[in-house]
Structure 1
Amino acid sequence: MPEEYPLVDVAKIFPSLHIDLKYATADNLTGHPIYQEHLCLLHADAATALAKAISIATLAGLKLVVYDAYRPQEAQAQLWQACPNPEYVVDVAIGSNHSRGTAIDVTLMDEHSRMLDMGAGFDEMHDRSHPYHPSVPPHAQRNRLLLNAIMFGAGFVGISSEWWHFELPNAAGYPLLEDQFACYTPAHTSR
C-alpha cells in the first residue's frame, strides 16, 4: 500500500474485532464475491473514531461487527451495476466515501456473540433499511438506535438510507484512493 494513502489495517489494530467482509463473500447484493483479498482497511482518522466506537460498545456490553470499510472503486462500479439506485449505491463517477476509506458498515452482537436483530439485513436495498422505518419492530428499532448512539458517540454520522452505514462527518472531503487491492471481475464470478 503506498505510504501517501493513510489507510490502516483494521484487523491488525483491533485483533479482537469481529470482521465479516461481505464483499469478500457471496453474501451481498451481487450474489458473488467481489474482493479478492480479505482486507479491512480504513483511513487513519476513521480508525481513530472506530476505536472510540469499540470502547463505547464495550461499555454497553456489546461488540461491533464490521461488514465493509475501504472499498476499491472497481468494487463500487460492480455494486452500481448490480443496483444503479443512487439512494443506496453511489455512482462510481461520483465516488463512494468507502473508496476514500472514510466510511464503514457495521452492526452489533451481544456478549454471547449473537447478532442483534436490526429489522432488515445488510445490503437489503429497500426503504425498510432506512435507519427509521415504521415497519421495523420496536426491538429492532431499539437496536438500530443503540448502534446509532454508539457510532455517533464515536464521531461518525449515518445516512438516511442504510442503518448499517456510518462515515466521518467530512468524509467526502477526503480524496478518492487508487484501488488498494484487487477485485474479481464479473466474468470471473459467473463461472
Structure 2
Amino acid sequence: MADLIEIPPADGLRIALAYATAGNLTGRPVYAPGARCALRPAAADCLLRAARAARRAGLGLLVYDAYRPAAAQAVFWRMLPDPRYVADAAQGSNHTRGVAVDVGLLDAGGAPLDMGTDFDDMRDQSHHDRDDLPPAVQRNRHLLLGIMLQAGFRSIPTEWWHYELPDAREYALLPESGMVRVVSD
C-alpha cells in the first residue's frame, strides 16, 4: 500500500493548498508550484467520508493543507515556535505523518462559511471552545466539528480547521514526497 495517495478535487471537495500561495501565516508560498494534496489511505478515506457528509448537508469541504513535508514544518516552527499552534519540527507533525488535514466548510454556492477567523490565525479566537463568537460562527464550527468527528477524525482545541486520525502518533513520519516540495530559501 502506498504511504501517500493524492486527493483530487471532487464533488463537494475543493483543494486550495494555502501554503502553495502567499495566503498563509508566512505571507509567501512555502510549497513549490505543482504541490498536490496527499494523505495516507486511512486519512484519505476519512476525508472522503467527511466530504460526502458535507455534501448531504448541502455544503462542501475546502482543504487548506494535508501532508506537509518536514522542511515546511521547520519553516513554520522557526516563524512561530509555539507548541499550541505549531508542532516542533524536531518532534514531527501529524501533517508530516500524512494523517492530518486542515479544512473549512463551503456553502452551496462554493463560498467559505464564516468561521470567525481565517485559516492559520494563531490566536485564541481560533480555539474551538470560544463562546464569545457570533452564534452563526459557533454553528459553523460545530457543524464542521461534527462532520469531521463522524468521519473518523479528532480535533485539537486550538485550531478550528485542524483534524487528524485518533491514532496519528502511531504513524511514522514520512520522508519528503514528490507530491509536495518546499520552495528553497
TM-score w.r.t. the length of structure 1 is 0.92
> Deviation of residue 5 (structure 1)?
4.6
Of the candidates 19, 25, 29, which is equivalent to residue 23 of structure 1? 19
* Contact 2:94–2:169 (Cα < 8 Å) also in 1: yes
Deviations 1:18-65 (A, max 9, x none): 111000001110111011132100000001111110111111111000
Amino acid at match of 1:175: A
The structural deviation recorded for 1:134 is: 2.6
- Alignment map for 1:40-189 (pairs within 5 Å): 40-180=37-177, 181-185=180-184, 187=185
**Residue 36 of structure 2 is aligned to residue 39 of structure 1:** yes
What's the TM-score once normalised by structure 2's chain length?
0.94
Between Structure 1 and Structure 2, the one with more helix by share is 1
Asked if the contact 1:54–1:64 (Cα under 8 Å) also holds between the matched residues in 2, the reply is yes
- Percent identical pairs in the alignment equals 49
Question: What are structure 2's unaligned runs of at least 5 residues?
Answer: none
| Secondary structure of 1:97's aligned partner | coil
Q: Corresponding residue for 2:3?
A: 6
Displacement of 1:15 after TM fit? 3.3
- Once the 2 structures are TM-superposed, how far is the Cα of residue 135 of structure 1 from its aligned partner? 2.6
Conservation of the 8 A alpha-carbon contact between 2:131 and 2:138: no
Aligned partner letter, 1:137: P
Contact 1:40 1:70 in 2 (8 A): yes
The amino acid of 2:182's aligned partner reads C
Cα shift readout 1:83-119 (whole Å, capped 9, x = no counterpart): 1111000000110000000000000011111210001
Q: Secondary structure at the match of 1:54?
A: helix
Q: Aligned partners of 1:91 and 1:44: how far apart in 2?
A: 25
Gaps of 5+ in 1: none
Show structure 1 runs of 4+ deviating over 3 A.
none
1:109-162, CA deviations, whole angstroms, 9 ceiling, x for partnerless residues? 111112100011101001000012133211101000000000001000000100
* Contact kept? 2:64, 2:103, Cα under 8 Å: yes
Q: CA deviation at 1:81?
A: 1.0
